[in-house]
Amino acid sequence: QVHLVESGGGSVQAGDSLRLSCAASGYTPSTGCIGWFRQRAGQEREGIAATGRGGEVTAYRVSVKGRFTISQDNTGNTVYLQMNSLTPDDTAMYYCAAAASPPCGAWASYNFWGQGTQVTVSS
């Protein structure tokens, strides 16, 4: 069973940066994918970044590309989401999730989820 725990959320000002962490257990980094998702108030959850195959594969939603960077530690069991130039529109609950295999940008394929970490950006 895959177990995921997010951390690193908080309240920041517009223009600030945050780094979220996702600690994964029961997951195979060499073949699977870890994705970051967010759910803004009143909206559906959306995939925003993903990595897989030991970091060889990455995928980003167009709206965050260039501001957000996904990376992982050398074990592949901790995945980070570096978020820069945050705006109030980035306020959301952020989740990490795991999928068994690529394509990592196939957001509907993720079937193991963490509990989420809240990010609030004020203007």
pLDDT tens for the 123 residues of the chain, in order: 899 999 999 999 999 999 999 999 998 888 899 999 999 999 999 999 999 987 888 889 988 999 999 999 998 899 999 999 999 999 999 999 999 988 999 999 999 999 999 999 999
Structure tokens at 123: 């203007």
Report the number of secondary-structure helices (H) and strands (E) in the chain: 0, 11
Q: How far, rounded to the nearest angstrom, does the alpha carbon of residue 106 sit from its chain's CA centroid?
A: 14
Structure tokens at 109: 């394929």
Cα separation, 57 vs 117, whole angstroms:
24
Query: Residue 54 — φ and ψ, nearest 5°?
Result: 65, 25
